[in-house]
Structure 1
Amino acid sequence: MTDRPRPRRRALALCAGLGAVLLLGACTSGGARGEGPAPSSPASSAASPGGPATRPNIVFVLTDDLSWNLVPYMPHVKELQRDGTTFDDYFVTDSLCCPSRSSIFTGDYPHNTGVFTNNGDDGGYAAFNRNGDEKKCYAPALQKAGYRTGFMGKYLNGYQPGNTNGTGTPYVPPGWNEWDAAGNGYPEFDYDLNENGKVVHYGHDPSDYLTDVVGRKARTFIDGAATDHKPFMLELATFAPHAPSTPAPRDAHLYPGVQAPRGPAYDTPPTPVPAWQRGLTPLTAKDQRSIDQKFARRVRSVQAVDDLIAGVRAELTAKGLAGDTYVVFSSDNGFHMGEYRLRPGKQTAYDTDIKVPLVVAGPHVPAGRSTSALAENVDLSPTFQDLAGAGAPPTADGRSLAPLLHGSSAPDWRRAVLVEHHHPGSAANDPDAAPVNSGNPPTYEAIRTADAVWVEYADGEREYYDVAADPSELHDAAASLSPARKSALHAELVALQHCAGAAACTKAAS
């Protein structure tokens, strides 16, 4: 590889050379790296003049295990917020990689994808493929609509670049014109990519760092689509900041001394303590040092993701595509680090795990705006298809976010989102396998409204948190609810748990 990743000082020079003042203000106003969270700045005006093209492009950056508390350390994501719209109440259908990504690809809840875990009969790539979910993915629909489609990075748990699926050659799923997918890319070095049906190995050189490789390939893809005057949809799925949270070599020593946030829930169990958490002990000094070290690695590992976003936006500007392209940033799930005495992990129904960033900038998207409308990852596939002119499929469980993106208040919007979680079976090769003390609850279903979360566990326990009055979710008020209120919450949950298609799921959530 000869195309080395650019250090930040070269990114600054690129900003000046391109004259991308409107799109890449973060190069000069995002804050210096290694000095703590970047400061906020006033909302900037919309990026490119002249309005959108009839067929806009879409770039979707999906991170792995990225929680809201990492965004302050990502100046280019903060710039994206200033240029676009932030969804303050965006949730995932399950705080676990494969179920969440399956919902993103298809627009369906886990009860309709059949993917509830990362492996076994009810999870992983095998279940996704066996259940016909590849055909429901947004890629075939966009390709049919005339889009050039590209996928780069992490696909689904259990996928391996050399998988043939009976074809005799490394398999490329339907709908993708460009396919560069990894299997075990978590270490960021020494991995294989399926590059359009050919397995290519990457080693230990700095230029082999996976997030940077994805960024280079993304810029090449954009350049080719621009040359051919083709509208495109490009998903860039990073492994960062998932453990081991390997930073790019250039970022390995940034943010010395940074500590994990210590909010009200840090080392504090909810009351009453749920049965599955009663064995947890207070965090020891060793636990807290370990949490801080892991958080620091996560902060460092997302610097390359931030650089990827800057590079992609610079390429769009250089090719004259910035005003015609939606740039979407999100995560497959959140991550807790010491909250509720839980050691680092995910899978719970707390907002630390199910509430993640969603930021969008692009044609007709108001700059510097936020919306509190309840959105969920099942909405992304319908949104992509709607923005591309293919129309949101009525068979998907989610709804297009396009009206919200373009400033509508959407008065008929949903009032609840669904979370479905199956207690995962143990698998030695599952990078998300959770020890009990990291947050490994029993199977549950939950609904999250604008002001509360209701959880029903398979063992019969119930939890209810009034997040309007108790935003840290420390006081379980389930016992204080009237029988009528519990019955209404249960009925709403059951309706969502069995819905199929946009109309039925919208009605169930109304």
Structure 2
Amino acid sequence: MSPAVNRNVLVFFTDQQRFDTTGVHGNPHGLTPHFDRMAREGVHVERSFTCQPVCAPSRSALQTGRWPTSTGCFRNGIPLPAGEPTLAHRFAAAGYETAYMGKWHLADDDVAGPVRPEQRGGYERWLTSNLLEFTSDAYETTLYDEHGEPHDLPGYRADALTDAAISYLREGRDRPFFLFLSYLEPHHQNSRDDYPAPHGYAERYADPWLPGDLAALDGNTRDHLAGYYGMVRRVDECLGRVRAALEELGLADDTVLLFTSDHGCHFKTRNDEYKRSCHDASIRVPTAVTGPGLRTGEPVRRLVSHLDLPPTLLDAAGLPVPPEMDGRSLLPVVRGEPDPRPDDVLVQISESQVGRALRTPRWKYAVEAPDADGWTTPAAERYVDAHLYDLDADPHELHDLVDSPAHGAVLAELRARLEERIVEAGEKRPVIEPARQ
């Protein structure tokens, strides 16, 4: 089978990037001029959410279009099953050359570097590290090719990966390509719990603007936000370089380009690390798509899950969307067609808890299984109320209304709505109880 149109597809994927690092979401530092331009000229997915705020589950969803609980990858350390169809398989079946570069994090958790062929998700070209944060540092990058051979790349890590991607784009080929370009930036360096920006970049943001949640809550924001912003700035420059290369090579008009991130970062304000919570700081990410048929300059304002992105890529390439994918293509919305779905997204939470959250335009409602272990249990039969935020009045989620008697009717409605979304995700219908019952 060949694609209906000869469209390349490139995913530019960052790690742990908050939505409000971008100018289009109000950051005043000018960190993301290239993303902002892409969002203004293409399709800005204004309210984009991960379906699981931690690395491997989010990545499994983006590779398969299926819930982490459906693939079994509900937490870090669980490899993507070898027989699970991925985007690489879908594009390869349509005659594409498939390539993955950067951080993978979908192999066995004891695999820091080379990944066995059966755990590579079906990709043909390969230059990765399973756990890039453990085989690299800011200026020390080792990636492994499809033969398992190491490649030590020079320069700042994001630049090194960008150089490799541009070299790939310059290669001659007689097939369209699907390239998944997966950066570590702006994720912290695990070995020292730090955010290493390029030399001189953190200094630019020594007095950083603070989003409302970070300004109000404790955490390690003031120790790390300058470096984090510097990393965001550099990875946006990398986006600019990739887009410039597509233009130079005459590929821009035939390439669908998606920018997104796996999850956000709350700087230890909600728990004792950086994500794994229901709050927008953890789950809301910057997302935009551009390319043929997608240079509309009109945003998508409905709530969008990561699960909607794989079918969107296939649809944009003129390929069929498999019915087993849990999300839906955004192209009908882009074309202005009515969307019958409720305007909300479900979020699964693992590791720190067994939790579920419902995000609507106005409300954030979350539940937690009080007796379940988030490392061993993918889903629970019983949850209790954990959080309720009125996002119209409290966009930074500082005032929890879960115990408010005045919001009993709202809670009841959201409980029923969350139960339905859980069932639609393939889980058993749970019992959800008030927190004090």
Gaps of 5+ in 2: 24-30, 190-194, 371-383, 427-437
Partner of 2:251: 321
Runs (4 or more) in structure 1 with deviation over 6 Å come to none
The partner residue of 2:35 within 63, 77, 84 is: 77
Give the Cα separation in 1 of the matches to 2:393 and 2:95.
Answer: 49
Partner of 2:387: 463
Partner of 2:378: none
Give the Cα separation in 2 of the matches to 1:391 and 1:414.
Answer: 24
Give the Cα separation in 2 of the matches to 1:62 and 1:330.
Answer: 5
Deviations 1:144-183 (A, max 9, x none): 011111110011152433343xxxxx66625322111113
CA drift at 1:195:
0.8
DSSP-derived class of the 1:88 partner: strand
Give the Cα separation in 1 of the matches to 2:61 and 2:296.
Answer: 28
> Structure 1 stretch 210-219 or stretch 365-374: which is displaced more?
365-374
1:418-457 map, 5 Å: 418-422=346-350, 424=351, 440=352, 442-457=353-368
Partner of 1:363: 292
Partner of 1:66: 17
CA drift at 1:338:
6.6
CA drift at 1:332:
0.4
Give the Cα separation in 2 of the matches to 1:483 and 1:307.
Answer: 48
* Identical-residue share of aligned pairs (%): 28
1:136-151 map, 5 Å: 136-151=85-100
CA drift at 1:262:
4.7
* AA of the residue aligned to 1:466: D
Q: Is the 8 A contact 1:64 1:333 kept in 2?
A: yes
Deviations 1:31-90 (A, max 9, x none): xxxxxxxxxxxxxxxxxxxxxx92321111110001123223122112212221211111
Q: Is the 8 A contact 1:137 1:381 kept in 2?
A: no
1:371-410 map, 5 Å: 371-404=300-333, 406-410=334-338
Partner of 1:218: 165
Give the Cα separation in 2 of the matches to 1:452 and 1:256.
Answer: 33
Partner of 1:152: 101
Q: 1:163 to 1:149 in 2, by over 3 A?
A: closer
Deviations 1:124-149 (A, max 9, x none): 32xx23xx4x6321110111011111
Partner of 2:374: none
The partner residue of 1:334 within 257, 264, 270 is: 264
Partner of 2:53: 95
* AA of the residue aligned to 2:298: R
Give the Cα separation in 1 of the matches to 2:17 and 2:196.
Answer: 14
Q: 1:320 to 1:114 in 2, by over 3 A?
A: same
DSSP-derived class of the 1:93 partner: coil
Give the Cα separation in 2 of the matches to 1:184 and 1:174.
Answer: 15
Q: Is the 8 A contact 1:93 1:376 kept in 2?
A: yes
* AA of the residue aligned to 1:220: S
Q: 1:482 to 1:243 in 2, by over 3 A?
A: closer
Normalising by structure 2, we get a TM-score of 0.82
Give the Cα separation in 2 of the matches to 1:491 and 1:109.
Answer: 20
Partner of 1:296: 226
Q: Is the 8 A contact 2:115 2:130 kept in 1?
A: no
Normalising by structure 1, we get a TM-score of 0.71
Q: 1:419 to 1:314 in 2, by over 3 A?
A: same
Give the Cα separation in 2 of the matches to 1:399 and 1:136.
Answer: 17
Q: Is the 8 A contact 1:150 1:178 kept in 2?
A: yes
Partner of 1:9: none
Partner of 2:377: none
Deviations 1:374-428 (A, max 9, x none): 1110111111222222211110111111223x34253323322111112x2xxxx
Give the Cα separation in 2 of the matches to 1:307 and 1:374.
Answer: 28
The partner residue of 1:241 within 186, 194, 205 is: 186
Give the Cα separation in 1 of the matches to 2:216 and 2:360.
Answer: 26
Residue 491 in 1 paired to residue 416 in 2? yes
CA drift at 1:208:
4.2
Give the Cα separation in 1 of the matches to 2:240 and 2:86.
Answer: 27
Partner of 2:430: none
DSSP-derived class of the 2:345 partner: strand
1:265-284 map, 5 Å: 266-268=215-217, 283=218
The partner residue of 2:400 within 476, 482, 485 is: 476
CA drift at 1:220:
2.0
Q: Is the 8 A contact 1:329 1:357 kept in 2?
A: yes
DSSP-derived class of the 2:302 partner: coil
Give the Cα separation in 2 of the matches to 1:188 and 1:444.
Answer: 34
Q: Is the 8 A contact 2:113 2:132 kept in 1?
A: no
Tell me which protein shows more strand as a share of its residues: 2
Give the Cα separation in 1 of the matches to 2:398 and 2:233.
Answer: 32
DSSP-derived class of the 1:454 partner: strand
Q: Is the 8 A contact 1:161 1:199 kept in 2?
A: no
Aligned residues: 392
Partner of 1:42: none
Q: Is the 8 A contact 1:194 1:200 kept in 2?
A: yes
Give the Cα separation in 2 of the matches to 1:323 and 1:413.
Answer: 32
Task: Tell me the C-alpha RMSD between the 2 structures.
Answer: 2.6
Gaps of 5+ in 1: 1-52, 165-169, 269-282, 425-439, 502-510
Q: Is the 8 A contact 1:153 1:238 kept in 2?
A: yes
* AA of the residue aligned to 1:261: L
Deviations 1:211-264 (A, max 9, x none): 22221221122222xx32421111110000111232334x54551523251526
* AA of the residue aligned to 1:395: E
Residue 194 in 1 paired to residue 119 in 2? no
